[in-house]
Structure 1
Amino acid sequence: MSVREVWQLTRELLEATALPWPAEEREARLVQVDELLREREEWLRKLRPPYSEEEQELGREIVAWNREIEARLRQVRDEIGSDLRITEAKRQANARYVHPYEQPLSFDGMFYDKRR
């Protein structure tokens, strides 16, 4: 029964996306989630109607879990984006500290008169 396999993989995916995601575990967990998504995609392609009442109930549960999984993955994406912004800001601050005179000069407030 393919629906049962999709349900099982979705449940594993729900557990794999459980929050929080510590930064040191992030890469390993992303690999695990990617593998589960690929495997589940293969099973989803095999699904063919008609579905029994039990399979329909499992399908409703899968849809509900998918919403939760998507919300968790969005949160992880936002955390990664925040970490990247912080890292970039630190890199720029360090570059300005190490090479303070390599930054372009600011020309704010300067007036250039073209008339002669």
Structure 2
Amino acid sequence: MSNAALQTYITKTEEMLDRISEAEAHSKDNESRDHVIEIISNKIVEREDLLEKIKGPYSDKEAQLGRKAVELDKQLQSKLALITTAIRADMRIAKKQQRTHSQYANPYNQVASADGMYLDSRK
């Protein structure tokens, strides 16, 4: 069972890598990125189920497949890190645009000085 589970695990990982590569090549819009993230999340859950089925002791062929799986996981981790970095950059840009917009809409909102103003402390 472990050999079939390992082969399925490798196939799912390759599908994820292909999906990420397609998404990087075609577009940078948020809707397609959200769709890709949803698909990847589902495949990660499927892969976790497969990891539970992979148990030792391993034959030589299974060990070779395991090394291939580790190599693919490293590639997947680097691509997912790039996607995470891109999302964080987009979030920073959106936050900065929101701050800039609010400062433009109400430029005197954050003025903290009370120079030249009489404050009456009586009620």
Give the TM-score taking structure 2 as reference length.
0.79
Q: 1:6 aligns with which of 6, 9, 15?
A: 9
The correspondence for 2:62, drawn from 55, 61, 75, is 55
Q: Which runs of 4+ in 1 moved over 3 A?
A: none
Residue 56 of structure 1 aligns with an amino acid whose one-letter code is A
For 2:43 and 2:18, locate their aligned partners in 1 and report how far apart those are by CA, in whole Å: 11
- Tell me, in whole angstroms, the C-alpha distance in 2 between the residues paired with 1:106 and 1:46: 66
Q: How many percent identity over aligned positions?
A: 25
Indicate the residue corresponding to 1:110 in structure 2. none
Match of 2:72 among 55, 65, 76: 65
1:81 aligned counterpart, secondary structure: helix
Question: Following the alignment from structure 1 to structure 2, what is the Cα–Cα distance between the partners of residues 87 and 31?
Answer: 21
RMSD of the alignment, in Å? 1.7
Q: Which runs of 5+ in 1 are unaligned?
A: 108-116
- What's the counterpart of residue 42 of structure 1? 49
Alignment of 1:25-104 (within 5 A): 25-104=32-111
Q: Compared with structure 1, are the counterparts of its residues 106 and 31 closer, same or farther at alpha carbon in structure 2 (3 Å cutoff)?
A: farther
* Aligned amino acid, residue 51 of structure 1: Y
Partner of 1:23: 29
| Partner deviation per Cα, 1:45-95 (whole Å, 9 max, x = no partner) | 011112222221111111011111101111111111111111111111110
Aligned residue pairs: how many? 107
Gaps of 5+ in 2: 115-123
Question: Partner amino acid for 1:3?
Answer: L
Matches of 1:81 and 1:43, distance apart in 2: 30
Deviates more, 1:46-55 or 1:27-36: 46-55
